Amino acid sequence: MNAVEQTDVVVVGSGFGGAIAAYHLAAGGADVVLLERGPWLQSQDFEHDFLLGSSYTRIFDFVVGDGMSVLGGNCVGGGSVVYFAAMPRAPRFVFERRGSIGRRMWPASIDRDSLDPWYDRVSESLSVAKQDWDEVSYAGGLWAAMCDHAGRTANPVPVAVDNSRCTNCNWMMAGCRFDAKRSLTTNYLPAALAHGAQIRPLHEVQQLSRTDDGGYRVHYDVVDDEDYRVHTGSGTIDAKIVVLAAGAGATPVILQRSEPNLGPMPHGVGRYFSGNGERLNTAVINEDRVREVLNLDRGDGIAYEANQIGKGPTVASWDRLDGSLPEYTRFSLEQLYFPPGLGTILAQVPGGSEPAWFGAEKKELLKRWKSWLTIFLMTEDDNEGVFGPPPATGNAHRISQQMLGRGSLRYDPTPNTRRGWALADAEVKDIVERDGLAEVAPWTNDVVGAYTVHPLASCRIGDDPATSALDDRHELRDHPGIFVTDGSAVPGALTVNPAMTIAALAERAVPGIVQAARERGIDVSYGAPVPGATGGRTALPLAETGRSR
C-alpha cells in the first residue's frame, strides 16, 4: 500500500484568495501545497487570438447556469490573469448593506475603516495607483467627456498596471504577454515558491473527507492539458488545514460534494450567490456628433473609432455611489473593453427588435464595432443565486474540451435587482444619448441569463449562522480547520470591481488561519512583509504538467 501524501496546508485555487494565503503560510514556515485546476502559462504563452486551444480558451471557465452565467479564470494566478486590473476599494456604505435578509450582511468586526489597513497591504504589493488623464484610453476619455457634458463626474480608475510596459493592445483578458498587468504571477505566487510552497497545475479538487487525526484528506483528479473533460489520474493529500479559494462558482460545489463525508454543511453553502449586480450596455457612437458637440478629434478627422485601442477599464463614474441614497439605487458606471466573441453575441442593436443574435440589423451593428463604447454597470443585487446538486466532478458538466460548461446555479432576479439594473440603464442612456452623441442598448439576458465576471457570496462570512457559511475569521462553521478566502466569502455585491476587496479580506483572514494552524500543531508564524510587485521580472517556472504545447 502506498504511503498517503501529507502536508501542513493544502490551498485550493491560486487566485487572490489562494495565492495570498499560500504566500503567508509558506513564508511563516508551513509546508504548503497549492492545487490549481487550470494550466500554468508564462507571459510568452498568452496569445492574441480566439482560436480553440489558444490561451484565450485555456485560461477561462465559462459556466452557463439557469438564469446566470459565470465567466472566471482557470489557470495559475486565477482571476488575476484574466482581470482588467481595476482595483477600487469598496464604498463605505457597502459594509452597512442589509440586502435580502433585512439586517446588516457583513460581520460587525468589518467595516471600511477596519479593512483599510488590509487594502493598504494589497496596494503596496500590487503597486495599485490611480492613472493620470494622459494614461487613459480613447474610450475612457470619450466616456469622461460624455459624463462631463451630461453634468456628471468621472474619474480614472485605480489599477494594478505598470503603464511603462503597457502597449495599449487591449488583450488584458487573454493574459498580459508584456508583463504590464500585475497579476499574482508577478508577486504573491513567486514569493510563495521562494518560501517552499508547491504549485500543482491541472489538479482539480473534487471533495474533502476527514482523517483519523482530525485533519482533512483532499481528493483530486489530474486534468488533461488539452481536453479538460479528460482526467489522467487522481490522488489524495492529507493536511491539517485546508484553504478553499476555487472561486465563488466552484468552492461551494466542492463543499456540497464533501457533505456525505464531512457531515452537514452550513445553510449558507451554495446560497446567497451574487453576480455583483453586473450588466453591460453597448453604445454606438455618432462620430460626427462627437466631433461637433464634444470637440474631440484623434487626428485625420477621426473623432473616436477606438473601441479596441488601449486598456480595459480606465474611467468610471461614481456619482451614484452615495450612501445617502436608498439601497438598490446605488451603482457605478465604468467604461470597459469587452473583446469580441460573447460580446458580439450579447450586444444588442439600439432601437432594434429584441433579441437580435443575427440578421441585417445585427450585421450593420457589427460593421460599426470601432465606434462602440461599452459601459459596465455594477449595481446592488439581492443575493438570489442558489446552487443545485453538484455534478459528478468539477464545478460544471463540461460541454467542450475547454472553457464551456453547464452548471447547477439557479438565479431568478428579484424586483430589487431588476430595478437597480433599470436605473443604471437609464443613467447610461441619459449620458450617452444626450445631443445625439450615441445610441445605446443593454446586453440581453435572453441567451445565457444574467452574467457576471465577478461571482461573489456563495459561502459568505457573517455573524448569523443562519445566513452565513463562514464566521468572521473565514472558518467554515462546524468544520474547524477549513477556511474560505475567495470571492465566495464576500457577503454581497460591492458596486465596484471586487478584486481589491477579495484580496484585502484574504490578507485579513491570514492571521486567524495561522492561529488555527498553530493550534493544530503546525510550526508557523505570521508577520512576513507583503511581496513587492515584480512587474513580471520574477517569472514563475513551468511545472511539467503545466507546460503548454
Instruction: Report d(CA 63, CA 194) in Å as an integer.
Output: 34
Q: Which of 38, 79, 16 is nearest to 395 (CA)?
A: 38
Using the structure block, give the residue that is written with the C-alpha cell 477549513: 482
Per-residue pLDDT, averaged over 412-417, amounts to 97
Confidence check: pLDDT of 293 > 70: yes
Q: Is 60 exceeded by the pLDDT of residue 537?
A: no
Which range among 83-92, 132-141, 237-246, 352-361 shows the weakest confidence by mean pLDDT?
352-361
Cβ–Cβ < 8 Å for 485, 476: no
**Cβ contacts of 87 within 8 Å, gap of 6 or more:** 122, 123, 126, 128, 157, 158, 159, 160, 497, 499, 500
Q: Please say whether the beta carbons of 41 and 55 come within 8 A.
A: yes
For residue 367, what is its C-alpha cell? 460593421
Instruction: Spell 64-95 as b/e; 16+ CB within 10 A means b.
Output: bbbbbbbbbbbbbbbbbbbbbbbbbbbbebbb
How much of the chain is in helix, strand and coil states, percent to nearest 5? 30, 25, 50
Prediction pTM value: 0.95
pLDDT at residue 286 tops 90: yes
Q: How confident is the model at residue 357 (pLDDT cuts 50, 70, 90)?
A: confident
Query: pLDDT by residue (tens digit) across 331-347?
Result: 999 999 988 777 888 88
Sign, CA dihedral 420-424-430-433, equals negative
pLDDT at residue 2, as a whole number: 54
What does the mean pLDDT of the chain come to?
Answer: 93
d(CA 454, CA 449): 15
For the cut 70, the answer to whether the pLDDT of residue 1 exceeds it is: no
Confidence of residue 307 (pLDDT cuts 50, 70, 90): very high
User: Which of 87-101, 167-181, 510-524 has the least mean pLDDT?
Assistant: 167-181
Between CA 241 and CA 159 the distance in angstroms is 33
Model pLDDT for residues 24-81, shown as the tens digit of each residue: 999 999 999 999 999 999 999 999 887 878 888 899 999 999 999 999 999 999 999 9
In 3D space, the residue among 430, 417, 456, 460 whose CA is nearest the CA of residue 268 turns out to be: 460
Give the pLDDT confidence score for residue 549 in this predicted structure: 23
The residue with greater pLDDT, 521 or 172, is: 521
Mean pLDDT confidence for 364-383? 95
Q: Can you give the pLDDT at residue 340? A: 76
Q: What is the pLDDT of residue 544?
A: 31
Q: In whole angstroms, what is the distance from residue 305 CA to residue 301 CA?
A: 11
Report pLDDT for 539: 38
Contacts of 495 (CB under 8 A, 6+ apart): 90, 91, 94, 277, 321, 330, 331, 332, 378, 379, 380
- H helices present in 263-353, as ranges: 287-294, 342-346
Residue 392 clears pLDDT 80, i.e. is over it = yes
**Cα-based angle 226, 484, 527 (whole degrees, multiple of 5):** 105
Question: Is the pLDDT confidence value at 546 over 50?
Answer: no
Q: 1-12 burial, b for 16+ CB within 10 Å, e for fewer?
A: eeeeeebbbbbb
Q: What is the H or E stretch that residue 33 is in?
A: strand 32-35
Using alpha carbons, select from 508, 379, 394 the residue that is nearest to residue 450. 379
Q: Quick one: cell of 507?
A: 490578507
Q: How confident is the model at residue 314 (pLDDT cuts 50, 70, 90)?
A: very high
- pLDDT over 60 at 541, yes or no: no
Residue 418 φ/ψ, nearest 5 degrees: -65, -35
What does the pLDDT read at residue 538? 39
The yes-or-no verdict on residue 370 having pLDDT over 90 is yes
Residue 404 in this model has a pLDDT that exceeds 50: yes
Q: What is the pLDDT of residue 345?
A: 85
Looking at residue 206, what is its pLDDT? 98
* pLDDT tens per residue, range 436-486: 999 999 998 888 899 999 999 999 999 999 999 999 999 999 999 999 999
Nine cell digits for residue 92: 463605505
Q: What is the pLDDT of residue 98?
A: 96
Q: Kindly tell me the number of DSSP H helices and DSSP E strands found in the chain.
A: 12, 21
| Mean pLDDT along residues 10-26 | 98
Q: Quick one: what percent of the chain has pLDDT higher than 90? A: 86
In three state form, how does the secondary structure of 324-348 look?
Answer: CCCCCCCCEEEECCCCCCHHHHHCC
- The answer to whether 169 touches 158, Cβ cutoff 8 Å, is no
CA-only gyration radius of the chain, Å: 22
The tally of CA atoms less than 13 A away on the side-chain side of residue 153 is 7
pLDDT tops 80 at residue 543: no
